[in-house]
């Protein structure tokens, strides 16, 4: 049976060889999600034997943001992950909870996390969309899609509904700020409060500069 350290080493090697489909879902994102997941799991007393492999492999299959079948990416990732973990000698009893944690992490999949471990992994992924790194990722993806930073006449969605398919800053209002209400664990909610506070400071500074 593979040891936890050997498994993490193999997973790092595997994930390092994957090609990112967008600049916000690269190796650095995975490393941050793994770090978040470990911290949250320890605080919430979740099973690290499930959380750690699921965090490493949550994005082992990714699809472009505008792909028509994007909502299936986490299920494709889960299937790929289970095949890999089985080959690496992961304990059979862990495969089903790891599969569920990966399937449920995705916002677009619409799969509710039914275990503490799945909730930890989902929170660890979603928290990476907030704070300074969240601002940077939002702009990276918007730039890759060719979207301008903001709407010229109403940058902060004061008189219109946000549309993040058109403007980067709209994504704050349409998806990022509401993330806090979707988090499951106390550990993640405490971290989110700090990160969203920074994002409001960023918006305030941007208002002064425009």
Q: What is the pLDDT of residue 24?
A: 83
Q: What is the pLDDT of residue 67?
A: 67
Predicted TM-score of the model (pTM): 0.92
Q: What is the pLDDT of residue 107?
A: 77
Per-residue confidence of the chain (210 residues) as pLDDT tens digits?
788 899 999 999 999 998 877 788 899 999 999 999 999 999 999 999 999 999 999 999 887 766 667 778 789 999 999 999 999 999 999 999 999 999 999 877 688 899 999 999 999 999 999 999 999 999 999 988 899 999 999 999 999 999 999 999 999 999 999 999 999 999 999 999 999 999 999 999 999 999
Give the distance, in angstroms, between the CA of residue 121 and the centroid of all CA atoms in the same chain: 9
d(CA 92, CA 112): 23
The length of the chain in residues reads 210
Q: State the residue for tokens 């500069």.
A: 209
DSSP label at 112? P
First CA to last CA distance, the chain: 59
CA distances from 156 to 35, 177, 178, 188 (A): 32, 13, 15, 26
Q: Which two tokens stand for residue 163?
A: 């549309």
Q: What is the pLDDT of residue 210?
A: 95
């Amino acid at each position: 049976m593979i040891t936890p350290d050997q498994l993490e080493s193999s997973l790092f090697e595997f994930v390092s060889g994957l090609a990112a489909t967008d600049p916000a879902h690269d190796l650095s994102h995975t490393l941050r999600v793994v770090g978040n997941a470990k911290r949250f799991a320890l605080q919430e007393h979740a099973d690290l034997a499930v959380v750690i492999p699921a965090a490493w492999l949550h994005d082992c299959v990714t699809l472009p943001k505008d792909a028509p079948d994007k909502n299936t990416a986490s299920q494709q990732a889960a299937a790929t992950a289970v095949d890999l973990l089985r080959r690496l000698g992961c304990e059979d009893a862990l495969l089903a909870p790891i599969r569920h944690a990966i399937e449920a992490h995705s916002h677009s999949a619409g799969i509710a996390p039914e275990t503490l471990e799945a909730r930890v992994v989902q929170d660890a992924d979603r928290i990476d969309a907030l704070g300074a790194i969240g601002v940077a990722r939002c702009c990276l993806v918007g730039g890759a899609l060719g979207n301008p930073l903001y709407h010229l006449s109403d940058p902060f969605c004061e008189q219109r509904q946000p549309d993040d398919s058109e403007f980067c800053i709209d994504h704050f209002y349409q998806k990022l700020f509401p993330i806090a209400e979707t988090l499951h664990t106390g550990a993640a909610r405490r971290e989110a409060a700090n990160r969203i506070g920074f994002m409001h400071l960023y918006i305030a500074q941007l208002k002064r500069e425009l």
